């Protein structure tokens, strides 16, 4: 009888503890970041890693004009967030090659994540200094 009471009390305590747990689903931003696998640089069509994704592994694409997000939308001048899951720095440029160094360039460190590109620190080749700029829907090339 004593064992049954202890078991009942333990079960009651477990039920109360379980009732206090809240299951947390991942946010859409977390789910978006998870779409970018290890060793990939991923550009997302929407802010907060939403919309189509364009992912590449450890390479350069000096003209995004011939690429599409996984939903079929062209990539050039349409990226609004990005994830660098590589082990190297990546550079996202306003203009394609050979004009890459005539506009803005964003350095994205290994593991870097940008949920939006509206106000980011870039190197401005036009004036030869770092400044804040709007790179949203303005990326034309990148290199890892």
Cα–Cα distances (Å) from 84 to 54, 60, 97, 143, in that order, read 12, 13, 21, 11
Assess if residue 61 is contained within a domain: yes
As a whole number, mean pLDDT of residues 93-102 equals 83
Entry pTM: 0.77
Number of compact structural domains in the chain: 1
As a whole number, mean pLDDT of residues 135-142 equals 93
As a whole number, mean pLDDT of residues 76-91 equals 95
As a whole number, mean pLDDT of residues 129-141 equals 95
pLDDT tens digits for 39-80?
999 999 999 999 999 998 878 889 999 999 999 999 999 999
Q: What is the pLDDT of residue 98?
A: 74
Strand partners, 57: 40
Assess if residue 21 is contained within a domain: no
Assess if residue 4 is contained within a domain: no
Assess if residue 39 is contained within a domain: yes
By three-state DSSP, how is residue 136 classified?
Answer: coil
Rounded-to-integer distance, Cα 63 and Cα 80, Å: 17
Assess if residue 13 is contained within a domain: no
Residue 139 is part of a domain; what is its CATH number?
2.60.20.10
* pLDDT more than 90, % of the chain: 64
Assess if residue 53 is contained within a domain: yes
* pLDDT more than 70, % of the chain: 79
């Amino acid at each position: 009888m004593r064992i049954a009471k202890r078991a009942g009390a333990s079960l009651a305590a477990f039920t109360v503890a379980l009732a206090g747990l809240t299951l947390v689903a991942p946010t859409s931003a977390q789910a978006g970041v998870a779409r970018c696998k290890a060793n990939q640089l991923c550009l997302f069509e929407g802010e907060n890693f939403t919309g189509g994704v364009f992912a590449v592994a450890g390479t350069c694409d000096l003209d995004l004009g011939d690429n599409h997000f996984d939903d079929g939308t062209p990539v050039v001048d349409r990226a609004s967030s990005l994830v660098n899951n590589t082990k190297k720095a990546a550079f996202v440029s306003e203009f394609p090659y050979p004009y890459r160094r005539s506009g803005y360039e964003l350095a994205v460190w290994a593991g870097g994540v940008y949920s939006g590109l509206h106000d980011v620190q870039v190197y401005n080749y036009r004036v030869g200094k770092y400044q804040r700029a709007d790179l949203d829907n303005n990326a034309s090339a990148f290199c890892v």
